[in-house]
């Protein structure tokens, strides 16, 4: 009897094992069939986009390189090609003539071009624009700039300097500035335009002591407008709103990665510069990256403000342009910045 019971138990176990194996076989067969079916279906094509950056490869654009190289654009269904502006063609001109679908542009420049351009995201929220002057040439305060020979860049940033001079009753002798500070270093001008994250640091690398110069940060004079934003033509945004939002999210992810992994970000920036056959300096790029990151993720601002432009910031920038006679009519905020809530902060 005991033998019979044991036989039944063994038989029952064998039956259960057989049932389990059959179930696993069916599961594997279904899995293989589904995998084969998915593999046989063509993958959904990614949206090809040309995105123009204002200048040659540098840390100012690290988040875009990270979004591309870490797959954030790809994962968002985007096929993004990054273009770089230079002294012959600007990112703005590439956007205007259709070479680029999106471009990084300063806020004041985009306002001056409204209603043709719309904001996809505001990146650099804290202004870095400044004027630096030689103390040895008499530049010690605002009044001392008057009638001096100075230089600044043409384009959007020139509008800010024009407002700065108009507001303070200054009439300097202005000459166009190239994309270097060599003329200033050679004392060819008494003062020149600079970015705190870029040219100002190059002075130190050229052996200039900060005590030798006087600095005028535009944000200290009520002209600290948000700078680099990502723009597209308004009719493109109308047709591709979902794509624009996908670019916005993926680009922000790239900048968050650059913030959290600065040395890896620097490796990618320097590799981009090498591909463009440009000289690069890790120390300088590190300075630039740190200041750009702090201008995007501004200390003491909330996380919700990152990548955004508020109604009050927009209105203040537009009003300053109008007061200087550089903007005839303020565009409608919801049209200029279609993805922004009309926050007053």
The domain limits of the chain are 47-126+225-336, 129-221
Joined tokens for residue 71: 């797959």
Residue 234: CA atoms inside 13 Å, Cβ hemisphere, count? 16
**Nearest alpha-carbon partner for 134 in 196, 205, 210, 204:** 210
Common-topology check for domains 47-126+225-336 and 129-221: yes
Q: Can you tell me the mean pLDDT for 63-89?
A: 94
Range scoring the smallest mean pLDDT among 18-22, 190-194, 244-248: 18-22
Pick the CATH number of 47-126+225-336 from 3.40.50.300, 3.40.980.10, 3.40.190.10, 3.40.33.10: 3.40.190.10
**Nearest alpha-carbon partner for 216 in 173, 268, 163:** 163
Range scoring the smallest mean pLDDT among 82-86, 122-126, 176-180: 176-180
Top-confidence residue, 15 or 158: 158
Contact 71, 123 (CB under 8 A): no
Please report the pLDDT score of residue 113 as a whole number.
77
Q: Can you tell me the mean pLDDT for 153-174?
A: 88
Residue where the block lists tokens 């670019």: 247
**Res 23 pLDDT > 80:** no
**Res 138 pLDDT > 60:** yes
Please report the pLDDT score of residue 18 as a whole number.
42
Top-confidence residue, 295 or 28: 295
> Which pTM does this prediction carry?
0.83
Contact 52, 85 (CB under 8 A): yes
Top-confidence residue, 327 or 136: 136
Please report the pLDDT score of residue 109 as a whole number.
87
Range scoring the smallest mean pLDDT among 36-40, 201-205, 336-340: 36-40
Joined tokens for residue 6: 């044991």
Please report the pLDDT score of residue 116 as a whole number.
87
**Res 20 pLDDT > 80:** no
Q: Can you tell me the mean pLDDT for 87-101?
A: 89
Please report the pLDDT score of residue 343 as a whole number.
53
DSSP 120: E
Percentage, residues of the chain above pLDDT 70: 85
Contact 150, 189 (CB under 8 A): yes
d(C-alpha 198, C-alpha 56), whole Å? 13
**Res 10 pLDDT > 80:** no
Please report the pLDDT score of residue 210 as a whole number.
92
Question: Coil, helix or strand for 47?
Answer: strand
Helix axis angle for 156-167 and 311-323, nearest 10°, is 70
Please report the pLDDT score of residue 39 as a whole number.
37
d(C-alpha 43, C-alpha 240), whole Å? 21
Contact 43, 75 (CB under 8 A): no
CATH number for the domain formed by residue range(s) 129-221: 3.40.190.10
**Res 12 pLDDT > 80:** no
Of 12-26, 67-81, 306-320, the range with the highest mean pLDDT is 67-81
Q: How many CB atoms lie within 10 A of CB 265?
A: 26
**Nearest alpha-carbon partner for 109 in 91, 128, 123:** 91
Please report the pLDDT score of residue 45 as a whole number.
60
Query: Based on the number of CB atoms within 10 Å of its own CB, is 337 exposed (0-12), middle (13-18) or buried (19 or more)?
Result: buried
CA-to-CA dists, residue 56 to 110, 126, 152, 278, angstroms: 20, 21, 18, 9
The angle at the Cα of 130, spanning 65 to 101, to the nearest 5 degrees, equals 35
Mean pLDDT of the chain: 85
**Nearest alpha-carbon partner for 161 in 217, 103, 228, 110:** 217
Sequence-ordered alpha helix ranges (H) in the chain: 2-40, 62-69, 72-75, 91-96, 107-113, 156-167, 182-185, 199-205, 234-239, 241-260, 262-275, 282-296, 311-323, 333-336
**Res 253 pLDDT > 60:** yes
Q: Can you tell me the mean pLDDT for 165-180?
A: 91
**Res 162 pLDDT > 80:** yes
Phi and psi angles of residue 297, each rounded to the nearest 5 degrees, phi first: -100, 75
Contact 246, 102 (CB under 8 A): no
Please report the pLDDT score of residue 320 as a whole number.
87
């Amino acid at each position: 009897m005991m033998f019979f019971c044991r036989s039944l138990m063994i038989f029952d176990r064998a039956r259960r094992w057989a049932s389990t194996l059959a179930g696993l076989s069916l599961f594997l067969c279904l899995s293989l069939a589904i995998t084969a079916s998915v593999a046989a279906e063509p993958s959904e094509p990614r949206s090809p986009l040309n995105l123009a950056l204002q200048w040659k490869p540098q840390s100012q654009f690290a988040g875009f390189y990270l979004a591309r190289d870490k797959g954030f654009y790809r994962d968002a269904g985007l096929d993004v090609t990054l273009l770089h502006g230079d002294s012959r063609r600007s990112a703005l001109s590439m956007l205007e003539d259709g070479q680029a679908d999106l471009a990084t542009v300063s806020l004041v420049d985009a306002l001056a071009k409204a209603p043709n351009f719309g904001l996809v995201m505001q990146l650099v929220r804290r202004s870095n624009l400044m004027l630096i002057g030689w103390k040895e040439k008499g530049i010690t305060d605002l009044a001392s700039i008057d009638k001096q020979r100075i230089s600044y860049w043409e384009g959007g940033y020139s509008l800010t300097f024009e407002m700065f001079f108009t507001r303070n009753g200054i009439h300097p002798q202005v000459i166009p500035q190239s994309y270097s500070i060599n003329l200033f270093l050679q004392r060819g001008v008494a003062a020149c335009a600079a970015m705190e994250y870029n040219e100002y640091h190059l002075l130190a690398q050229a052996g200039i002591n900060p005590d030798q110069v006087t600095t005028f940060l535009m944000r200290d004079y009520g002209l600290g407008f948000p700078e680099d934003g990502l723009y597209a033509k308004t009719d493109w945004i109308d047709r591709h709103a979902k794509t624009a939002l996908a670019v916005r999210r993926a680009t922000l992810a790239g900048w968050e990665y650059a913030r959290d992994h600065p040395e890896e970000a620097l490796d990618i920036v320097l590799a981009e510069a090498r591909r463009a056959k440009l000289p690069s300096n890790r120390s300088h790029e590190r300075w630039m990256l740190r200041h750009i990151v702090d201008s995007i993720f501004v200390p003491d601002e909330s996380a919700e403000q990152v990548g955004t432009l508020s109604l009050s910031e927009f209105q203040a920038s537009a009003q300053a342009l109008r007061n200087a006679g550089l903007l005839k009519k303020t565009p409608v905020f919801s049209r200029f910045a279609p993805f922004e809530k009309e926050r007053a902060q």
